[in-house]
Amino acid sequence: MTDNDSSDDLLGPVDILVIAFPDGSPHPEGFASLAALVESSTVRVLDMEFVSRDANGAHIVDPADLPAVDGFDVDYWSGASAQLLDSDDLEYLTADLQAGELAVVVLIEQQWILGLVGTWTSTGARLVADGGVPTEDLIDALDAAEQN
């Protein structure tokens, strides 16, 4: 994001989540929470892939092939795959998956921040820098602060 970008060109911070389901079935509660965030424009799902692993590596699972689970709306998520994450990405991201587990890999844009930045820039302020802080770095800094 820079102050020269039009609002149509802005992209909020992007995070990636890899959630493993040891029983091999999607858990609907988390997907309902994610859907609520999408519908409120808090986040946007840029890509979503369901992945399983066997002795030959990671494999993309079509949502239509997922086990039927009460409360999990397969149709809602069936168009979420944009294939931004390639097979090498998915292999790396799901390396810790055990055989028989299912994972969902979600690339999420944090849209809420665009409104915040837009409010400031519309009043003449300008965005000088943006970016994330690695969680481990933040935890280390908080631990160090507690020790002082």
Instruction: Report pLDDT for 67.
Output: 86
Q: What angle do CA 46, 50, 51 make, to 5 degrees?
A: 125
Q: What is the pLDDT of residue 93?
A: 94
Among 10, 23, 3, 40, residue whose Cα is nearest residue 101: 23
- pLDDT for res 2: 37
- pLDDT by residue, tens only, the chain of 148 residues: 334 444 456 788 999 999 999 999 999 999 999 999 999 999 999 999 999 988 888 999 999 899 888 888 888 888 888 999 998 999 999 999 998 899 999 999 999 999 999 999 999 999 888 877 788 888 888 888 999 8
pLDDT in the model for residue 74:
83
Spell out the domain ranges in the chain.
Answer: 7-147
Q: How far apart are CA 44 and CA 35, in angstroms?
A: 10
Which pLDDT value is given to residue 16? 94
DSSP string, 9-31: G----EEEEEEEETTSS--HHHH
Q: What are phi and psi of 112, to 5 degrees?
A: -55, -30
Give the pLDDT confidence score for residue 73 in this predicted structure. Answer: 86
Question: What letter represents residue 36's amino acid?
Answer: A
| Assigned token pair, 85 | 């994450």
At 3 the pLDDT is 40
* pTM (whole model) above 0.85: no
**Separation of alpha carbons 114 and 127, rounded Å:** 11
